[in-house]
Structure 1
Amino acid sequence: MDIFETKNGSVRGFRASADVVAVLGIPYAAAPFGAGRFREPRPVSPWDGIRDGGRFGPISPQSARLPGAPVWSPGDEDILTVNVWTPEPGASRLPVLVWIHGGAYTFGSSAQPDFDGTVLARAGLVVVTFNHRIGFEGFGHVPPGGGPAHPDNRGLLDQVAALRWVRENIAVFGGDPDRVTVAGQSSGAASVACLMAMDRARGLFRRAVAHSPASPCYTHDIAAATTREVAAAAGCPATSEGLAAATPQALVAASDRVVDRYRSDPASGSRHYDPSLYAPVLDGDVLPADPLTALADGAARDVDLLVCSTTQEYWLLDAVGSSAKVTTERQLDRFARDFGLPEGLVAGYRAALPQAPVLDVYLSVFGDLLFGEYGDRLAEAHTLAGGRAFLSRFDRRRTGPDTVVRAWHCADVPFAFGNLDDERLAFLIGGAPTAADQDLSRRMVRAWADFAATGNPGWAPVGGAATEIHRWATSPPDGADELPAVALRALWAKADFPVLRP
């Protein structure tokens, strides 16, 4: 029997494959509700007997229904759990990869089929995924009241608690607590960057992987204004007492109503285009500075960093209907004003894509604004401060008789995890994987495993006369819609990051 003795009690795993054992739903902190709601994560109580690790734990409050993933049900409270995949028991001191899911800080969970750790474990890693608080529960600002403190960035504090659980327990699963790599995608990748900037996470990981890190951070004023909007939509006072009296379900529904208002109002400013209400808050405590500034100041120069962006990030958000449509030159000009983009930037993209419709120009600019340019700057700032960073681009595309699957946001994740054969991920990769797809996935899995083990993914780090940006693809570029990366990056030179606009 595959039984593991953690600090809080025994857990039983199951065979995810002939050579990999998985243990799911292990609590790493107490349920963050009741007296613990809106507070720092609290220690979990030990349990007697052997806890079954055969199923994922409940997910954080949200309204999303994602393919192949569980949905949140009101009353699900024990949401702070980790999942572990380990090679054949008996191994020891293996490198560890800890994954933080994305979802605009509002949706998602560790139970998504993309994140099954079996293939990566087979490559020689101990893989850990976990749930943390998202939406208002994890990132909403709660004004001070007469009771216990309600810190900002509770979702980040959960992540730190999960990493502490890894440090204390991963050896019993064959992992090396001194060789931990923290990784994530989108808001999960931005969380990785935040952890690199946080004193509370210092020493809990040695390497970091950020796939499509999202750029926004919010000031205290922006976060407080969002709280007032959500409280009004929920029909409760914007006070600690009023918010605590509102159920998680009520705050999820209220957040969705606020998002819908932004979506339907083109005059509502930058949030109209992609109304993400929640992001890490620059509170001067949990998150003392935005990650870009912190990395430039050398906050994590001893952590190796691997950054990957996709070449067509924002096409996914358009395809799933979460982004406003911009199809006229007038709308495009308004978009540039709403985000305060430097003069000439959009014109430069127009010149680089002379035959493209306005929508494609908009998607190209927005993808670089939120993901691509920000990721490049993180890697470069880290390098200039004395750290070591690697850059890569995911550019695998697929054309079929009825559809085109682009190198869009999230498409790289199934390849890096080695989970191409799961039919629930067909939308991301465009159907059944080809032999070339499988080969690409094997190369990406190997690069992640090597980076976690040695700090070297297989290509040269940023720096020197010719920085190598590794390209992940199944075929050479055809030039049809290739953007001149060097010229376009020059257009961003005067743009301010991080993106702080509400």
Structure 2
Amino acid sequence: MTENVVTTTGGRVRGTDSPRSEDGSVIVHRSIPYAAAPFGEHRFAAPAPAAPWDGVRDCTAFGPPAPQRPHLVGAAAWSPEMSGDCLTLSVWSSARPGDRAPVLVWIHGGAYIVGASSEPAYDGTRLAESGLVVVGVNYRVGFEGFGHVPGRPDNRGLLDQIAALRWVRDNIEGFGGDPGNVTVAGESAGAGSVVCLMAAPDARGLFRRAIAHSVPGDMITTGTARFIGERIARAAGVPYEAESLAALSPEKVLDAVDAVLADSPSGGFKPFTCFTPVVGGPELPEEPLAAIARGGAAGVDLLTGHNAHEFRLFTELGQEVRIDEEEVLHALVSRLGLRKDALEVYRGTLPGAPVRELFNAIQSDAMFCEYTARLAEAHVDGGGRAFFFLFAARSTVLGGRLGACHGLDLPFAFGNLDGDFGAFLFEGGPGEEHHALSARMIAAWRDFAATGDPGWPASTSAALSVKEWNTPDALHPELVAPARAVWAEVSLAPK
């Protein structure tokens, strides 16, 4: 590697030393194109090959994210003036050609509507220093990536991710990585993407292991996706056809989506998104849990788990929400289809808890915890190896109200507690015990990516063995979650 230049299938790329590297060994190549800009003739189409270039392409700065609005924490700064060349990936590596280091491909979260691999929380320097080659992927989000467009493929965001994995297979050796030892990882919508990739026919053989933190259970059928697409076209004032939709600027599409969301019933809680993976087409023919339980991903090792207080991020930080009346809980239980004694069960697990805490606990299970646990169980049933964790370390800000909220695990797993996000989450900054926990999580990710063993027992058909990440850690022979009983008859199938 001369002057941080690597030869790829598209041409030569120049990177730069990572400014966060403590030992100076990590080189980062930012925003390498893995597919053509998804606009013009490629709008709403499957990703097309990126055009090759002559000479050395400068990849020392991040390029534009996919079109999005700053609706959620973590949204990337996008504007209509930016280039459409958003299908890029970035590589952090301290390895050199011939090293064949394990590869971790990161799929960012963001409710399938926001996010980018350039977010500081996803800086791969610390993981690269641990011995991994880290690849962060941008993909289409919102309507561009997951909206139903007549005559065009659904799940274009997933197809982008698959194209990026093919790029890794064909190019990662030049960065010192082993194309035969790839782990695909993600959190929240990124974890949902990972699970879909485990079930997607076109992703088969492109990765060996999977890491899925806080997996959301929201997926929709092609019929629902078509209904949403029709509403968006109507809001945009155009016929519901590919040519008319493709003629709209990304900003006009975002305006139409905002109009649809603003007009949607929310049960007192503003919806984040109407976009999720679509089940029923050739890209994702079968609901992932069913495919995985049948053994469709038995050869892929899985590391999955969730945080102890997932939903608090949204009620305590993300939105101003008043939840203090009993009727809110009854309406929630009814909407979710839980057993009639569900509130009694939750009260038994949280004695004396106020309405707000019970609401957060039920919503945490509804959005992330139950689906994540079922994923691990399905993978074991399908003959795969699954390792389960519970992240329980708590934030100290806002009087401790955030607890172990959604996303709190990310700065720990990436080793980025010294960034702005880490500073915000802990009064006076994270302590030694937090940095020690981060080091343990980095080691677990590294070891799992390298060998398939994160350092604790795999789950069995009898019980989910649980690694509790905390200060200090704990190991539990089984998942203790009495409230799961009220979810036993609730279907998590796409709606």
Range class of TM-score, shorter chain: over 0.9
Aligned to 2:29: 23
Aligned to 1:491: 486
**Are 1:115 and 2:122 matched, yes or no?**
yes
Aligned to 1:333: 330
Shift of 1:343: 2.7
CA–CA separation in structure 1 for the residues paired with 2:210 and 2:320? 29
Counterpart of 1:128, as a letter, is: V
Q: How does 1:412-427 map to 2 (within 5 A)?
A: 412-427=409-424
Aligned to 1:223: 225
2:72, 2:110 within 8 Å by CA — same for their partners in 1? no
> Compared with structure 1, are the counterparts of its residues 213 and 476 closer, same or farther at alpha carbon in structure 2 (3 Å cutoff)?
closer
Shift of 1:418: 0.3
Aligned to 1:139: 146
| CA RMSD, 1 decimal | 2.0
CA–CA separation in structure 1 for the residues paired with 2:490 and 2:397? 37
Stretch deviating more after TM superposition (489-498 or 127-136): 489-498
Q: For 1:375, what is the secondary structure of its paired residue?
A: helix
Aligned to 1:481: none
Post-superposition Cα deviations, 1:230-278, rounded to whole Å, max 9, x if no partner, equal 2222222222232122211111122122222336x538xxxx5534200
Post-superposition Cα deviations, 1:156-198, rounded to whole Å, max 9, x if no partner, equal 0000000000000000000000000000000100100000001
Aligned to 2:42: 36
> Compared with structure 1, are the counterparts of its residues 231 and 412 closer, same or farther at alpha carbon in structure 2 (3 Å cutoff)?
same
Residue ranges of structure 2 left out of the alignment (5+ in a row): none
Counterpart of 1:238, as a letter, is: Y
Q: For 1:120, what is the secondary structure of its paired residue?
A: helix
Q: For 2:35, what is the secondary structure of its paired residue?
A: coil
Residue ranges of structure 1 left out of the alignment (5+ in a row): 145-149, 478-483
1:64, 1:107 within 8 Å by CA — same for their partners in 2? yes
Stretch deviating more after TM superposition (159-168 or 316-325): 316-325
Aligned to 1:177: 179
1:346, 1:365 within 8 Å by CA — same for their partners in 2? no
Q: For 2:318, what is the secondary structure of its paired residue?
A: coil
Stretch deviating more after TM superposition (362-371 or 485-494): 485-494
**Are 1:371 and 2:368 matched, yes or no?**
yes
Shift of 1:142: 0.6
Q: How does 1:11-410 map to 2 (within 5 A)?
A: 11-16=13-18, 17=21, 18-64=24-70, 70-75=76-81, 76-90=83-97, 92-144=99-151, 150-262=152-264, 266=267, 272=269, 274-322=271-319, 325-399=322-396, 402-410=399-407
Q: Percent identity?
A: 47
Q: For 2:369, what is the secondary structure of its paired residue?
A: helix
Shift of 1:342: 3.0
Counterpart of 1:391, as a letter, is: F
Q: 1:445 aligns with which of 442, 446, 451?
A: 442
> Compared with structure 1, are the counterparts of its residues 378 and 160 closer, same or farther at alpha carbon in structure 2 (3 Å cutoff)?
same
Counterpart of 1:26, as a letter, is: I
> Compared with structure 1, are the counterparts of its residues 176 and 319 closer, same or farther at alpha carbon in structure 2 (3 Å cutoff)?
same
Shift of 1:346: 3.0
CA–CA separation in structure 2 for the residues paired with 1:476 and 1:299? 33
> Compared with structure 1, are the counterparts of its residues 229 and 426 closer, same or farther at alpha carbon in structure 2 (3 Å cutoff)?
farther
2:69, 2:75 within 8 Å by CA — same for their partners in 1? no
1:273, 1:324 within 8 Å by CA — same for their partners in 2? no
Shift of 1:352: 1.9
CA–CA separation in structure 1 for the residues paired with 2:344 and 2:231? 35
> Compared with structure 1, are the counterparts of its residues 285 and 88 closer, same or farther at alpha carbon in structure 2 (3 Å cutoff)?
closer
Shift of 1:329: 1.5
Q: For 1:25, what is the secondary structure of its paired residue?
A: strand
Q: For 1:262, what is the secondary structure of its paired residue?
A: coil
Shift of 1:65: 6.9
Counterpart of 1:224, as a letter, is: R
Post-superposition Cα deviations, 1:133-166, rounded to whole Å, max 9, x if no partner, equal 000000000123xxxxx10000000000000000
Shift of 1:100: 0.2
> Compared with structure 1, are the counterparts of its residues 401 and 193 closer, same or farther at alpha carbon in structure 2 (3 Å cutoff)?
closer
Shift of 1:467: 3.6
Q: For 2:246, what is the secondary structure of its paired residue?
A: helix
- What is the aligned residue count? 484
2:316, 2:402 within 8 Å by CA — same for their partners in 1? no
> Compared with structure 1, are the counterparts of its residues 427 and 229 closer, same or farther at alpha carbon in structure 2 (3 Å cutoff)?
farther
CA–CA separation in structure 1 for the residues paired with 2:39 and 2:202? 23
Post-superposition Cα deviations, 1:207-236, rounded to whole Å, max 9, x if no partner, equal 000000110110112111111222222222
Counterpart of 2:351, as a letter, is: P
Shift of 1:353: 1.9
Counterpart of 2:234, as a letter, is: A
1:113, 1:425 within 8 Å by CA — same for their partners in 2? no
